[in-house]
Amino acid sequence: MEHDVGTALPPAPHAALDEPAASARDGFDDVPLLSSRFARSPVEGGTGLSVVEIDRGRVLLRVPLGPGTLDSTGRVSTLVTSVAVDTALGIAVHTFTSTRSGGPTVELRVDHHARPAAGASCLLVEGVGVHEDRTCGVGHVSVRDDLGTLIAHAAGTMVVDPLPIGQHRGIWKDFTGVPKLDLTALPPGLDGTTTSTDPTELRLPLSPSIANLRGDVHGGMVMAIAHAAQARLAAAHPAPCRPLTTTVDYLRPVPLSGELTCRSTVVRDGRRFRTVRTELVRDDGKIAATATGTVVVLPND
């Protein structure tokens, strides 16, 4: 069955992509292998994410609209959106760049749009690589439901880490016995609970259920944690709101130990829009990421 995922940027011409590359990408271009790897992983497996197709510099992912996928307002949860766009960005960039190697996210911006249409059964997430240089690659991601509604759009930058051919499999972690992320029963912190009584602070115990394939906290989960921290602060305001844009700058990896402390500050509190900046701090005191989120303030009914 073919799905219309809307208009997307085509992969830019790139001479280096004409060379043989199957072994260099070591599974990035193998749909069954990559889907199997995601099915076993805690985060992608927990969201039900699978790979539909991969071309050079383009990937199409599918995420079912199942229990826990939507929030209380009927919108796709920011966690699911964040994980889907970060994963699509990574694959699109790493199959587009001439080295075809994996690396961490540098920056990710997501614009949130509409609710899924009535009767939609899944999300179709299309990532496209659009630029590279020696150190990084850039990509765009669109998220639509299977009826064509645009849910979100994202743009981001990934590090390009050149690895020797055949090295990719050696860096993937074995998640045998690790529980998958449960969207219907999120861990403390992500579910809004925290040991802190301060609405500007959220403390999140770190566990393997939010790991990426390298064994650090998944880049999409870092954005989801920032969302949770900012939602906690928003709950202290009387007016309801909905996410508009979120940008995360990833400064260093987050190892799966201890807890992550999120400290949020309101930098704009207008009648129509509110902007919050959040620092995500590791146990060693180093800032792992900064997130800036803008929401639309809704009128009280």
Q: What would the pLDDT profile of 11-34 be if each residue is shown by its tens digit?
A: 333 333 333 333 334 455 678 888
Distance CA 280, CA 278 (A): 6
Look at residue 169 in the predicted model and tell me its pLDDT.
45
Query: Is pLDDT above 70 for 69?
Result: yes
- Summarised one tens digit per residue, pLDDT across range 173-198 is 778 888 899 999 998 888 877 777 89
Q: What percent of the chain has pLDDT over 90?
A: 60
The DSSP bridge pattern shows strands 105-112 and 241-250 to be: antiparallel
What's this model's pTM, rounded to 2 decimal places? 0.86
Comparing 115 with 32, the larger pLDDT belongs to 115
What is the structure's pLDDT at 275?
96
Name the residue among 111, 120, 121, 117 with its Cα closest to residue 141.
111
Q: Which residues pair with 264 in a beta bridge?
A: 278
